[in-house]
Amino acid sequence: MSDAALTANSGSPLPQDRFAAELRGFGALGMLAVLVIAAGQILPPLSAVLVLVWTWLSRTPWSEIGYVRPKSWTGSLIVGVAFGILFKFLMKAIVMPLFGANPINQAYHYLAGNRAALAAAVLTMIVVAGFGEETVFRGYLFERLGKLFGRGLAARIVTVLVTAAVFASLHYFGQGLAGAQQAAITGLVFGTVFAVTGRIWMLMCAHAAFDLTAVAIIYWNVESKVAHLIFR
């Protein structure tokens, strides 16, 4: 007799169905999953991998975390990269100077002309920022908060605000106030795009391009020039 027949005959869900449902919920097992994924931020890509494991074990549709096949992989890549580069220059040359931010990113200034550290930095921006942070802060947190707050307009606005605040707070410890301010704005913009589209691939490309542009500006030691393009 099939599992489906056994379930139908007994009137109760199978053990694996109960386990998946508990992972999707906010009981003891569901909250334990949240804590484990949060703890994975010690090594950011680990959190994203744990999100994928949670999605599979909980039988959550991949579309719920934004993993939707794009209409065009090439189009998503081009739009994402262009958006990320433009957004970074906008932040560096206009937005952050308005906040009075130091034009030099002290946390990453060691990359200036540092060819030995360049490869690791590039890999980090692609894996940690593009894949890791988008999967966790847009995909996973939007799914979890969507279950709590709902899917209406007001609920989505709250979700964007909460995820941006969490994203910003985690950047404060390594990059100070300016890093938190930039992360808050980035979180609001990327979160709004995700709330509207429900798709994450373009945002992964955009986030990676945003951070890779930042690395390039630092590596070529042109931070001050870019920061003073508009405001002298």
Q: 5-32: per-residue pLDDT in tens?
A: 444 455 566 777 999 999 999 999 999 9
Q: How does residue 4 score in pLDDT terms, banded at 50, 70 and 90?
A: very low
Based on its alpha-carbon atoms, the radius of gyration of the chain, rounded to whole angstroms, reads 20
| Amino acid at position 181, single letter | Q
27 sits in the region (left: phi over 0; alpha: psi -120 to 50; else beta) called beta
Residue 232 confidence (pLDDT): 75
Q: Per-residue DSSP letters for 80-118?
A: HHHHHHHHHHHIIIIIHHHTT--SS-TTTGGGTT-HHHH
CA distance 26 to 81: 36
* Assigned token pair, 16: 């694996």
In this predicted structure, the answer to whether residue 194 has a pLDDT above a threshold of 50 is yes
Candidates 206, 216, 227; CA nearest to 82 is 206
What per-residue confidence (pLDDT) applies to 220? 97
* Banded model confidence at residue 44, pLDDT cuts 50, 70, 90: confident
111 CB neighbour count, 10 Å cutoff: 22
Domain boundaries, the chain: 69-227
Q: What is the predicted pLDDT for the residue at 7?
A: 47
Model pLDDT, residue 63: 97
Instruction: Check pLDDT > 70 for residue 47.
Output: yes
Q: Which residue has the tokens 């930039």?
A: 182
Across all residues in the chain, what is the average pLDDT? 92
Both tokens of 230, joined, read 């508009």
pTM: 0.91
Q: What's the CA dihedral at 99, 102, 106, 111 to 10 degrees? A: 100
Which tens digits make up the pLDDT trace of 91-114? 999 999 999 999 999 999 999 999
Residue 11's pLDDT is: 56
